[in-house]
Amino acid sequence: MPKQSAQREESQMARRVALVNNKGGVGKTTTTVRLAEALAKEGKRVLVVDMDPQGNASSFLGWTWDPAQQQPTISEAIRAATEGAARGAIQPIGWDAPYAERIALAPATLDLETRMSEAGVSGAWRRLDMALEGVDDSFDFTLIDCQPSVFHLTQLALAAAHDAVIVTEADIYAIEAAKRMHAFVTQRAPKDLANPTLAVRGVVVSALKGTSLQTEQRDSIRRIFADLVWDPAVKLRTTLAEANTDAQPLTDSRVADSRATYELLAQAFLKAVPAQ
Ligand SMILES: Nc1ncnc2c1ncn2[C@@H]1O[C@H](COP(=O)(O)OP(=O)(O)O)[C@@H](O)[C@H]1O
Ligand SMILES: [Mg+2]
């Protein structure tokens, strides 16, 4: 049964939040993973659903595809087109941190790309919502990391989500893409994806270098998105990029300021995203 017409107690469900932008490389995956981390530290149970065939969220969280094991991924769950099919795809993450047990992952590999061939199949846009049905009830939040697109895989995410968070850099092309995504979420998704209550709850500004040009662009983000913009902006930090590629939680002292930033962003998240 689709989320929108579910008869059961809404309060049993995780709140599902899609992290989106129509441009790549703007910090969507980093924001997804680091918000999951900061929320888990707050005691929240978080499911990360990797909806990008690049699988970066899966690798940042320390998950690796083992051809010998053939672990099920979100791609098989979507292909199944049955209620609750994502249950078999949910796996622990690979971090060594006390709060890591509160984060679980529905991983992706390049195989997710093949789901694109179902884009024209009647009702296929509902398949992630169906696959998660009943599966994420034991989580507080389901964070869905999206690919830089407004096409099928992102539509699957937006059909399953209650909320969207836009991630952008203070860069003119990233902002243009963020505006396109905002328009898609607010104007197209309610009708095309039968999700009339889907709302943009926040805008995260990522990888800020602090140049004067970027400061101007940040001001323009504030003019465009006003109160939707969450504080603080995430500063550009090589140590954060290294923690991502090394699949490490932000426990080391070298990443202390990035850690503090995401802790504050998690507070903004908890204020802006309604509790289920
Ligand atoms: N604040 C930051 N400082 C430095 N590097 C960052 C920061 N945020 C993200 N990155 C790096 O930039 C690249 C793109 O970020 P990513 O989160 O994968 O973006 P997207 O998911 O939008 O494509 C990655 O290599 C990531 O580690
Ligand atoms: Mg990404």
pLDDT in tens, 60-75: 999 999 999 999 999 9
Say which residues have a Cβ less than 8 Å from residue 102's Cβ, sequence separation at least 6.
40, 43, 44, 45, 46
> What local confidence, expressed as pLDDT, does residue 11 receive?
54
- CB-CB contact of 181 with 150 (8 Å): yes
Collect contacts of 251-255 with beta carbons under 8 A, ≥24 apart.
251/97
Strands laid side by side in the 141-146 sheet: 91-92, 103-106, 46-51, 141-146, 15-20, 163-169, 199-206
Nearest ligand 1 atom, CA 25? 23
Q: Which amino acid is at 264?
A: L
Query: What CATH number is attached to the domain comprising 57?
Result: 3.40.50.300
Nearest ligand 1 atom, CA 236? 3
Ligand 2 midpoint to CA 7 (Å): 34
- Is 132 inside any structural domain? yes
pLDDT in tens, 63-120: 999 999 999 999 999 999 999 999 999 999 999 999 999 999 999 999 999 999 999 9
Residues at CB less than 6 angstroms from ligand 1: 24-30, 56, 206-207, 234, 236-237, 240-241, 244
Instruction: Give the total number of structural domains in the chain.
Output: 1
- Is 141 inside any structural domain? yes
Retrieve residue 78's tokens: 């979507």
- Is 9 inside any structural domain? no
- CB-CB contact of 86 with 51 (8 Å): no
Instruction: Using DSSP bridges, classify how beta strands 15-20 and 163-169 pair: parallel, antiparallel or unpaired.
Output: parallel
- Is 8 inside any structural domain? no
Q: Which residue has the tokens 């998690």?
A: 266
- CB-CB contact of 17 with 164 (8 Å): yes
